[in-house]
Amino acid sequence: MTFVSLREIHCDEETDEVGDDEIYVLMSTVNLGAHVNVEGIPIPIPSFDVWRFGIFENFAEGDTKGQPFQPFWSAPLANPDQAIFVGSVIENDNGVPEQYQQLLRLVIPKSLASSVGEPLDLVRSKLVREINEALNGVDLPVPFALDDDHVGTQELRYESPELQRAAGDLVPKVLSYDGDGGRYRVTFDVSPDIFGVIRDRWIALGAGNSPVGRPVSGETPTFDGKGRFMDFSAGIISWHPETGAHGVWGDISGRWLQIGREQYGYPITDEFTSGNGRMNTFKAVHLQGKPEASIFWTPQTGAVEIFGAIHATWKSMGAGGSSIGGPVSPEQDAPGGRIQQFQNGKLFWNSANGQVSQA
């Protein structure tokens, strides 16, 4: 499955409207590979939709407005001739954006029907031209009266090498729109395919609205060849057959990467609240005994790792909700063993008897 989405829009110059602009983007999508089954026989009939992103308010020159991950294409796309994407940038004035979507839902099937049998390039160019004309008020069907200002319309087109590269990497593409006195740049992404248990975890976390963000790399083997991970814009989802798939993000993700990532341990939880902080728990499935460990975070302490016997004792006390709170620094050597400082005390591991006690 391939995801195509709008990442952000940047204002190089405001339109001629009084005050800051209010911009929205309409993405018209056509799936030329769609079909319906008639008595068990697949009959090719293109499907289409019109997506709206925004209204992005208070848009001034130099501003960039981000868009949460909401793909307008979520289907296989190995062949760029399989789809048509047409992006339109509109400045909201007194119109109703939903009416513009309704208008394009009339224009698109009419254009496609009138292009049957024509070469694909002509089908594409005709569709772009007729969307552009409709948004400029040419031959509007009753009862449409357009009150918003059309900045521009153009096709978002991908080539086969770009789609091939998207199997393992994020592929951005920028289109520039000039019109109504304004200039806007829109960044689109083709995101790597995401599937299996990593995809299931990503969806469970909220998909594009999850704390790990949008996929930015393909699925990759971990250091031991037994697990898999995938990079996202704000974190990682890591999987091992013994632990399942879990997300690591934010400062905890940063510390996990510093201390060895899956070699420190595969995540066995997503990030969760513990006491006055946040934490992930990990399991080093490649080490003898498969020990568990954690990384704990608060705004005051940052992300700190805790492992071994001290970790086991701390968890038995209630972890971040215990009387000693969370760790403020990593475990260190001390006479006779190891010691770790917590928010409200210390834990000491005695190397002679293996016992852990408060110091």
pLDDT attached to residue 193: 81
pLDDT attached to residue 191: 87
Question: Block means of pLDDT (10 residues each) for the chain, length 359 residues?
Answer: 92 87 96 79 84 94 92 90 96 88 94 93 96 88 78 96 88 94 95 89 90 90 96 96 98 98 98 96 97 97 97 96 96 97 97 94
Q: How many Cβ atoms sit within 10 Å of the Cβ of residue 133?
A: 14
Domains of the chain, first to last: 2-191 (2.60.40.150), 196-358 (no CATH)
pLDDT attached to residue 142: 64
pLDDT attached to residue 78: 86
Contact indicator for 30, 108 with CB cutoff of 8 Å: yes
